[in-house]
Amino acid sequence: MQPIRNLFEQHFGASPQWLGRAPGRVNLIGEHTDYNDGFVLPCAIDFSTEVALCTNQSNRVRVFAANETEHTADNFQLDAITPDDSVHWRNYVRGMVLMLSDAAAQRGKKLRGMDMVIHGNVPQGGGLSSSAALELALANAINAAFDLGLTPQDMARLGQACENHFVGCNCGIMDQLISASANSQHLSLIDCRSLETRSVPLPTGFKLLIINSNVRRGLVDGEYNLRRVQCESAASYYGVKALRDLSLEQLFADADGLDATAFRRARHVVSENLRTLACAEALNQQDMQRVFKLMSESHTSMRDDFEITVPAIDALVEIVADALKGQGGVRMTGGGFGGCVVALLPDALLEPVKACVSKAYPEQTGLVPVFIETGAAAGAQAQPII
């Protein structure tokens, strides 16, 4: 807490009152299924975003983003919140403040002006949900400061609404919900329709290794939103509310007349839901070979049917898979078009895999990998700063 407290005092000349903290996430399996009302299996990671906050007596919100190298500040009025087309990070803050202001009004309360400092270590642009971590850290700090009485699920929904309606990314709720409600040392099997979650323990003797490909992603640039449109079009063709309601048998039996691209998108989602449920069951039964096979099949589906991988990511997955020799699982994780891969591997293989990737990946791609070792962390929280 002390570093962000010092930053706050240096920038605003006063002490913060509240600290909100929220983790990033990694998804073991279940990609692009959340906005199709399907199933996902993520966990929170040991990297988080913090928001130190103090109310002020004005109608103005002043923000300092400590991790930004330029455009580090923002300043806006609570009754005139509009998007900033020039500085992208500001829209997550503005959008969340707007969503929380509306939520407060629904509860007969009103936000006041705030000063806040943002600081964190979730890698940006790597598919580890730095945006959701920011949204939930903000939500927890503001919820506590104004005693709004929001539940973790409430705050997750507000984070998704911020992305969908203010930032312009039509994401599902997975990132926000796992950041809001994760259990330490566990993955969460999330039903993205009912928002029911079930804890799935990480297997003893295994580690999660996230490898950042250093191919930077850009979900708001259109491809993510296009995939959602394609999925919704396929669901409409089959006459179901969402692709979660479609079986593989129905998918193949009624495919005549559906264009080939939409069929592949639907095939990924339908099969990915089945893989995710099967993976959770296999983890509970400690059937690790089944888990590894499902992770491999998931990557193949993302590459061939959903077409969200890139050559460097595919090369990285192949390098890790060769090094694991069937003793671990690996796949791309996140929205796609760059970012990270995730491997579930025995403790003893951690260093050999890192050594292999450190040599082979730069040789094949000219890019330098970044290794992120993590456990499964707890979800977001807020606490007073005394």
Residue 191, pLDDT score: 97
Please say whether the beta carbons of 380 and 137 come within 8 A.
yes
Distance CA 97, CA 120 (A): 19
CA angle 298, 302, 304 (to 5 degrees): 115
| 213: its two tokens | 């490909």
Per the CB < 8 A criterion, the answer to whether 30 and 276 are in contact is yes
Report the chain's terminal Cα–Cα distance, integer Å: 11
pLDDT in tens, the chain (386 residues): 789 999 999 999 999 999 999 999 999 999 999 999 999 999 999 999 999 999 999 999 999 999 999 999 999 999 999 999 999 999 999 999 999 999 999 999 999 999 999 999 998 777 789 999 999 999 999 999 999 999 999 999 999 999 999 999 888 899 999 999 999 999 999 999 999 999 999 999 999 999 999 997 655 458 888 999 999 999 999 999 999 999 999 999 999 999 999 999 999 999 999 999 999 999 999 999 999 999 999 999 999 999 999 999 999 999 999 999 999 999 999 888 888 999 999 999 999 999 999 999 999 999 999 999 999 999 999 999 98
Active-site residues: which are they?
Answer: 175
Residue 296 phi, psi dihedral angles, 5° rounding: -65, -45
Angle, in degrees to the nearest 10, between helices 311-324 and 350-365: 150
Residues 6 or more apart in contact with residue 55 via CB below 8 angstroms: 17, 112, 113, 114, 115, 145, 146
Q: How many CB atoms lie within 10 A of CB 2?
A: 6
Q: Where are the alpha helices (DSSP H) in the chain?
A: 2-12, 88-106, 130-145, 152-162, 174-181, 223-238, 248-253, 260-284, 288-304, 311-324, 350-365
**pTM of the predicted model, to two decimals?**
0.90
Q: Which candidate, 118, 84, 111, places its Cα nearest to that of 97?
A: 111
213 in Cβ contact with 79 (< 8 Å): no
Nearest to 270, CA basis, from 36, 29, 42, 27: 36
pLDDT of residue 218: 56
Interatomic CA distance for residues 223 and 58, integer angstroms: 40
- Distance from C-alpha of 14 to C-alpha of 384, rounded to nearest angstrom: 15
Q: Helix-strand-coil percent breakdown of the chain, rounded to 5?
A: 45, 25, 30
Whole-number pLDDT of residue 386: 82
One-letter identity of residue 310:
V
Q: For residues 374 and 205, what is the distance between their CA atoms, to the nearest angstrom?
A: 13
